[in-house]
Amino acid sequence: MRLGHDVFKNQSISVENKQRLTQLLKAFKILIDLHGADYYMICATSAFRDANNKQEIVHHVQEVLNITIHIVEGEEALLIYEAIRRLLDEPNSYLHVDVGGGSTEVSLYTGPSKIASRSFDLGYIRILEHDDAAATWEAMQAWITTQKQYFTGIPIGIATGGNIRKLAQLAKRGIKNYFPSRDS
């Protein structure tokens, strides 16, 4: 839904997007009920965390749809790790980049063991809206460079997130080229 377009400009989610979100969650609830899911979790991330009116929207969705929105903080990386951990084999090193709308989480693994992780205020919407400070890109590159000591060989890259395909398309078109090559 790209709620970040609202939040990163106006610090809140618009009335229009509140209604769109409610309709989207209503459709998901129908699918959840149709498939008889025993457990589900509705998670909101960066844009929602930053929205001044997040509690109003959480309350509205709870009242209208009887759905709880869980605003994830530090556990976002843990949820993603649970999704990818079966792919991580010893003795390989992995550089995992999870690109969201407002933030990017970079994690380093040796096999399934997390060595280091850090979140940066860079995401697809921030980049699209030119709200991505050069200093933040430099901080991310510097952090990754300092982590090279933990790599066993060249790390295998893993990218996740709803915006990763779009970001890859932008990079292919040469709009921005922030990530260093293997040799740098």
Helix 15-35 with 54-65: angle, nearest 10 deg: 40
**Is pLDDT above 90 for 81?**
no
Residues 96-129: pLDDT tens digits?
A: 988 877 788 899 998 898 888 888 888 877 887 7
- Cα dihedral sign, 153-157-158-161: positive
Residue labelled with tokens 């430099």: 138
- Residue 25 to residues 20, 74, 108, 151, 174, Cα–Cα distance (Å): 9, 23, 33, 41, 36
**Which domains are seen in the chain, by residue range?**
4-71 (3.30.420.40), 75-172 (3.30.420.150)
Beta bridge partners of 94: 109, 156
The pTM score is 0.66
Residues 125-162: pLDDT tens digits?
A: 788 777 778 899 999 999 999 998 888 788 898 888 77
DSSP state of 106: E
Residues 19-71: pLDDT tens digits?
A: 999 999 999 999 999 999 998 989 888 788 889 999 999 999 999 999 999 99
